[in-house]
Amino acid sequence: MVTRFHTHRSTRLVVALATMAATGSVLSACSSGSQDAAQASPETSASPQRMAGLYRDSQICVVNNSSAVISVAFTQKDASQGEGEMQPKAGPAAQACANGWFASGHDVQGNVTTTKPNSILQFGANNPRVGKPDFLGDGGGDSTVCLGFSTGASVGDSDTWDNGILKYTVTRESDTSAFVRFLLVATDTQNPSPDGIARVTC
């Protein structure tokens, strides 16, 4: 699994306060205001990527639209739901999601596996303090990134990888007030492995 590193959460808060002081911005004193309004106050002219870097954790949701049974496990997270076995064509109603923030490595990390035949996709998402959020995925071989955005993703960016067993598509969806969101969808392969063995490299 390709790993990235970034600073501790407290550094994000220090940078946020420093930016506020530099721009002369003032937070609203109203404690009953919405979270979105509070987040918009420090840097009203900041780019979406910069705002995301200051305020939002990473979230990955996995959807099974394939004809296979898949298993989803999140190995690094703050919270999750829907992990475990997902039936064929389960769709968005049975999606598995996890969110988190960590000082090193990925904010959220996990894998999708199949049996008969065996295959694995390892993945991780990171929302750095500076720059665009990224999503990296590999087939468990030499850790070569086969899926995702090593230089960061803007909202709406999408990428695909077919390992001969399943085809995976990851998309950066619109941010919420709490999360930078990535959606990972498994569908049937469009390029079947001739020997029935999943590809582990790109």
CATH (domain of 156): 2.60.270
Q: Is residue 24 predicted with pLDDT exceeding 60?
A: no
CA-nearest of 197, 185, 195, 192 to 70 is 185
Question: Average pLDDT for residues 45-67, to the nearest whole number?
Answer: 74
Q: What is the pLDDT of residue 28?
A: 35
Instruction: Work out the average pLDDT over 169-192.
Output: 96
Cα torsion 60, 57, 25, 35 to 10°: value is 80
Tell me which residue range forms the domain holding 195. 1-202
**Measured CA angle at 98 (ends 70, 14), to 5 deg:** 155
Strands annotated E in 15-95: 57-64, 70-76, 79-81, 84-86
pLDDT in tens, 87-141: 999 999 999 999 999 877 899 999 999 998 999 999 999 998 888 999 999 998 6
Is 51's pLDDT higher than 70?
no
Supply the pTM of this predicted model: 0.75
Q: How many domains does the chain have?
A: 1
Average pLDDT, the chain: 79
Percent of the chain with pLDDT over 90: 59
> Does residue 193 register a pLDDT over 50?
yes
